[in-house]
Amino acid sequence: MPVPVRLLGDTHGNMTPIRLGARLGLRMIHLGDLGFRSSWLKANRIPNLRVVAGNHDDIITARETSIYLGDFGDLGEHVQGLDNVFFLRGASSIDRDLRVEGRDWWTEEELFDQELEAAIDLYSRLRPRVMLSHECPSVIGHMLLGADLIPSRTATALWQMFQRHEPERWFFGHHHLSWERRVGNTIFRCLAIDEALDVDL
């Protein structure tokens, strides 16, 4: 039976959309770029919130919290009732040269090649109905941004996942646009900054 969930796009430290969902008693999944240390510590006190970490997330602090989902996997193992949903964290920061490691940028913003290979293998075996990620597959990114897209190993790995299995729906953030398009058997939906989307997963 589908479970109602509020998905949240990048908030970058803005707690307002999260607190609103909490006041409404909603189950929430944040699609990454929650923010840095203070944001994670504040959000960790919010009930019914889980986070698929992005590139602008303090991954060290995230791992100390109960809201961090982990690197990738079956969402149903972390959130009761949300079976047949897969998640993968991470993306590449195009502005990392302007950031300071350990303060507002982390070397682990993306999974490393061996971890991504393990994620692709698990995804291929589970063949989920729904996919949640911060980044999107590379070809989908080209549809969004055209020639402006800068390739990353996360986007490449997600494209390999999509080639192996097309889920019914795929939700992501990162690109700060509200956008939807069907590609093959999959409806892709990008959430903009501070966007909230209520769905049944």
Name the residue type at position 77: E
pTM of the full predicted structure?
0.96
> pLDDT tens string for the chain (201 positions)?
778 999 999 999 999 999 999 999 999 999 999 999 999 999 999 999 999 999 999 999 999 999 999 999 999 999 999 999 999 999 998 877 778 787 777 889 999 999 999 999 999 999 999 999 999 999 999 888 776 667 799 999 999 999 999 999 999 999 999 999 999 999 999 999 999 999 999
User: In the structure, how many helices (H) and strands (E) does the chain have?
Assistant: 6, 10
Q: Which of 26, 108, 92 is nearest to 59 (CA)?
A: 108
> Where in the sequence is the domain holding 136, given as residue range(s)?
4-200
| Domain count within the chain | 1
Number of residues that make up the chain: 201
Q: How far apart are CA 22 and CA 157, in angstroms?
A: 33
Tell me the CATH number at 50: 3.60.21.10
Amino acid at 178: S
Burial class (CB in 10 A: 0-12, 13-18, 19+), 95: exposed
